[in-house]
Amino acid sequence: MNREEIPIFFASDDNYVPFLSVAIKSLIENCNKSYKYKVIILNSGLSNQNMKKLKQMENENFEVSFEDINDKIYNIANQLSLRLRDYYSISIYYRMFIPSLFPKYKKGIYLDSDVVVVDDISKLYFENIDNYLLGAVPDEVIAGSEVFQQYTKDALDLEPNKYFNSGVLLMNLEMFRKEKIEEKFLHLLNKYNFDVIAPDQDYLNVLCKGKVKYINRGWDRMPNVDDSFDDSELHLIHFNMFKKPWNYSNVLYEEYFWKYAAKTDFYEGISKMKDNYTKEDRKNDEIGVENMIKQSDRIIQSENTFKNVLKDNYFNIL
């Protein structure tokens, strides 16, 4: 009997492989055995040792494969890296190329590596997004910050409550290809290379405007205290921004991370990271937040913003 294949994409470098292994372990332990899951790791060169460890996680339901994206980004690497800052790496853009790299798939899931899945991911995959480019969850960071809400409105021309987080995406790959989202992204990157707060995320929000299905927020729950959230709706935890349980203590939902981390080959190394995270590292995290706020104010004052440059018919007249 042929089982339906569910493609799940990650993007990672060697530095993030330990956390990626935790995400994969959580996927495996919560999967529905009725389906075949294919984990595809987009990368620009992982060590053989790390790839071997990740491949060893395979079982009869789970396949792990690797897609070297160097050829795809060779001609645009400089543009992609121009606006990066803080802890971002060029790998954040890899999700933009999934539709063209994998034409055989009509649909797929993209996940950041700093997630833990506590429910069967097939439930997300089978959400109906036939008439949408994406299924995604509004970003909790934007919702909790007046500064970033202002940025969303004045720089991106988006409603803050409709600005989604790009760390968990249910992608209509067929529609992405049909609407030429990759081509539009590359056009904007090459012509304007906008200064932005969240590089891949801002572009995706603008390019997918009006064609996003907002799914249950329990599929991209961040470790922020929120009494309005019912934990019975918890499906996936996203340790976004600086709230990493391997760097800080008393992070909300950290017990889920450590539960799965303990079952990976990387546990010993991960468990030592918090002890090695210095006061200077924590101070740099605080500075990073402050810099994001300053940058958002600076971008709003700029002429070179999505809102100022793009009009409703912009792509119609290309």
CATH numbers and ranges of domains, the chain = 5-317 (3.90.550.10)
Rounded-to-integer distance, Cα 235 and Cα 239, Å: 13
With a CB cutoff of 8 Å and minimum separation 6, the contacts of 93 are 73, 80, 199, 200
Decide if pLDDT at 282 tops 50. Answer: yes
Query: Could you give the percent of the chain with pLDDT greater than 90?
Result: 75
pLDDT band at 186 (very low <50, low <70, confident <90, very high): confident
The pLDDT tens digits of the residues spanning 11-26 come to 999 999 999 999 999 9
Alpha-helix residue ranges (DSSP H) falling in 56-126: 70-73, 77-82, 98-101, 122-125
Decide if pLDDT at 115 tops 90. Answer: yes
The pLDDT tens digits of the residues spanning 48-84 come to 999 999 999 999 999 999 998 877 665 555 555 444 4
* 168, 115 contact by CB (below 8 A): yes
With a CB cutoff of 8 Å and minimum separation 6, the contacts of 288 are 86, 87, 242
Q: What is the pLDDT of residue 77?
A: 52
Rounded-to-integer distance, Cα 291 and Cα 280, Å: 16
Amino acid letter for position 166: S
Cα 150 to Cα 40, 146, 301, distances in angstroms:
36, 6, 12
pTM score: 0.93
Alpha-helix residue ranges (DSSP H) falling in 10-86: 17-29, 48-55, 70-73, 77-82
Q: What is the pLDDT of residue 127?
A: 97
Q: What is the pLDDT of residue 82?
A: 47
